[in-house]
Structure 1
Amino acid sequence: MEQQEQARQKHDSQAFAMESLVRVAIAEPLLHDIVNRDLIAYLRANRQARVELLPLDNPFNPQPEDAHILVWLRWPESVLPCMYRSNFTMRPLGTLEYVPCVAKRYARGRAHRSDRTILEKFMLVQLQDYATVPSLAPWNRVVNQRRAGVTTLRSYGTMRELVRWGACLGLMPYYVPRLDRNLLALPDLLPGTMEVQAWLAVSPDASCRPDVSAIADMILCAFNERRGLF
């Protein structure tokens, strides 16, 4: 009987541990620029929390899998992903305007914000996930017309570093130069407006859990506090 009771307690302990795990899948640009600081503060204040950050293979086409919370990117007028049909609680977080950016150290004395010849003066760095996004078409056309001088990659953080230190021109949300004073936005370089929306979804199976709700609220607060950037 004693062994059975110990086995039951061990099983209950494991079940509780699994229940307390919160899986969060979030697009790298949003984690890097907006949520990161608040997430660190949350984890410092809740040292017993168990959080697993899951990568999104494609931030514009997220797959829920085992995630309790998803934060992803969506271009205007695109079809809502499969979470919509799975009764996920979904809400928009904001609209991000994208613009070409360059490091001030390399642009100084070489370019004006509306001077299209800057496109020929710098290497271009392209996030692979942006290549097929219709709302980013003006930038993608420039990249596709280039026969050389283009670096394509998957890491948003690495793209930021290449723009900052590698004399590259890259596409970023309009707020990035306000977060990094070393970067210069070039809003008049390309015609039209390039916009992407940020969305939040919470799994219906976990929406009533306090730990899941707390992290979802933390993400909402992070976006609300930075509303002036959008």
Structure 2
Amino acid sequence: MAGELQMLKTIISYLLEKIGYEIVSASSPQVAACWPRQLHQSLTSFEDDGAFHSVYERAQCATQMTETDNSLRRQRYFITNQLLRQADLGRGDVCEAGCFRGLSAHLFAQHIKQLDQQVTFHIFDSFQGLSELESVDVSEDWDQRYKHLSDWSADKLRKQFACSLQTVRENLDEFDFIHYYEGWIPTRFHEVADKSFSFVHIDVDLYRPISESFQFFYPRLIPHGIMVFDD
């Protein structure tokens, strides 16, 4: 895992520098000034955070995601989980748009469950996979890249992320504070139009539903609320 982590760091550093970002040491004054100390410390302790790995593995088992475990996904969810912990959950609801089998939702719900306050968690998903791909979602060399795969198609890609509402409910059945909204984004957003949100996690992969999710939820974030895009 150490080799994979170093390779990942190298790739990320290269990409960030190419688009004009400066890479600075985690102990530098710039970092300390910009990030809450607690978050800064937590983001540097991924490998040694036994508590996170324990709840993550529990979530993987509950959502049948153990066989696809990998260090990159685990780090993504580690960071997202730490951001959730920075949110003022007592002042607004939690929302996830796009849940697949419920892995990230299970992580969030484990944290919410241990809090000494009532928090409502809303999950929006089609439970049928991705919505229709549009030209903005497909690279110009799409056909050239995938024509050698005889069974490859945009429809197969879309259905790869399908998981029934019943299965997700069963995966998350220990959490009684979750509300489910089955339907294509944004058809059911209006049902929470009167809510305020402290934390919103958007993982819907394609341009249009990402844009529609942002346009709906951003104005409903509480001051200092957190919105995370997994895309």
Q: TM-score, normalised by structure 1?
A: 0.25
More strand by share: 1
Q: TM-score, normalised by structure 2?
A: 0.25
Which protein has greater RCO, CA pairs closer than 8 Å, 6+ apart? 1
